[in-house]
Amino acid sequence: MRYATLFAVVLLLAGSLQADVRDVGVKPPPIELQQVLNAPSGTVATLESLHGQVIVLEFWGTWCPSCIKAIPHFNALVDSMKGKPVKFIAVTYEDADTVTRFLKTTAIHGLVGLNTTHSMPKAYGIESDDGGAWPLTVVIRPDGLVDARLCPYPSLPFPLTASNLQNLIDGKPSGLTTHRIVFTGDVRDANGKPIESAFVNAIEFIGPDSNRWTLIGQSTTDAGGKYRIDVEAPPAYFSKHPNLLEVTRDGYHTLRTEDLRPLPGTEDPPRHIVLQPIAKTPRPE
């Protein structure tokens, strides 16, 4: 199947389902920058002005240690693609003074875009109720559609390579796999009745040395008892760390699943969770 035909099929399927801002093969939200640094004054960078090029958006912040650790790898990639139809934009919502001070000690190659209205992290689904990701790399193909969303975790190899970008320039599939794990299912009582407004938390075990857990995503069940937790992180990272789901609801016993380790590149199978009611203690007469 030819490359263009393959993505036409993806778009048809995407159109028949409910679209999500974190889907691939769809048109991305606008690039809305109030200022562009590392470029001549007045430089404009929008999806329309950059159409026909590969666009790499790197969402980062001076406050984010993982973002800072990824900068050398990002810079090396920018340098390796010099002269190619690829536009690299490091996007932050911080103000010009904060970013300019940072750039005096830590260089970022490519454009640095300031989205001071905070619209882009929200539109791109980085800041969401069910789990976001900082830093995040979004790759947009020359035809203007999202090719991949990647999480450059400092403990793993930088996920985007020059070969991936060259493939897109040549009209081929990039070979990238989006970093996304989805936990879905429903919560019911012992009689099979859906439980609404139950809290479902996805929790990750940090490691035996620290012996503690951290919240990586959360959801609240709807009227049908259904939940969905959408977390962006490298599948290899999730495979190395135990995860579990914790479900709580007033009037019911808290339930924790066993160790969950989703297979790399797959969606965790839907889980049907049953909560047991807390027995009411009769008042003494």
- Domain encompassing residue 122: 3-169
Helices and strands (H and E) in the chain: how many: 6, 13
Residues 160 and 222 in one domain: no
* pLDDT tens figures, 235-278: 666 666 677 899 999 999 999 987 776 655 556 678 999 999 99
Domain-located, residue 100: yes
Residues 98 and 190 in one domain: no
Domain count, the chain: 2
Residues 7 and 144 in one domain: yes
CA distances from 34 to 42, 104, 112, 246 (A): 10, 21, 11, 41
Domain-located, residue 111: yes
- 152-161 contacts, C-beta under 8 A, 24 or more apart: 152/66, 152/70, 152/73, 152/74, 153/66, 153/233, 153/234, 153/237, 154/65, 154/66, 154/69, 154/70, 155/237, 156/234, 156/236, 156/237, 158/70, 158/73, 158/74, 158/77, 159/234, 160/56, 160/77, 161/77
Q: 148, 169, 190 — which closes off a domain?
A: 169
Distance separating alpha carbons of residues 120 and 81, to the nearest angstrom: 25
Domain-located, residue 70: yes
Strand order in the sheet with 136-140: 35-37, 111-114, 86-92, 54-59, 136-140, 146-150
Query: What parts of the chain have a pLDDT lower than 70?
Result: 1-19, 128-132, 206-212, 234-241, 261-268, 282-285
Residues 161 and 44 in one domain: yes
Contact of 273 with 185, CB cutoff 8 Å: yes
Residues 186 and 162 in one domain: no
Residues 193 and 257 in one domain: yes
* pLDDT tens figures, 95-108: 999 999 999 999 99
User: What is the CATH classification number for the domain harbouring 138?
Assistant: 3.40.30.10
pLDDT of residue 2: 39
Residues 57 and 136 in one domain: yes
Residues 232 and 116 in one domain: no
Q: 108, 134, 169 — which closes off a domain?
A: 169
Residues 199 and 130 in one domain: no
Domain-located, residue 133: yes
Residues 7 and 39 in one domain: yes
Residues 56 and 14 in one domain: yes
pTM of the full structure: 0.76
Domain-located, residue 176: no
CA distances from 12 to 9, 26, 91, 164 (A): 5, 10, 30, 24
pLDDT of residue 1: 37
Q: 109, 136, 169 — which closes off a domain?
A: 169
pLDDT of residue 13: 35
Domain-located, residue 279: no
Residues 185 and 165 in one domain: no
pLDDT of residue 19: 54
User: What is the CATH classification number for the domain harbouring 197?
Assistant: 2.60.40.1120
pLDDT of residue 130: 47
pLDDT of residue 7: 36
Domain-located, residue 280: no
Domain-located, residue 23: yes
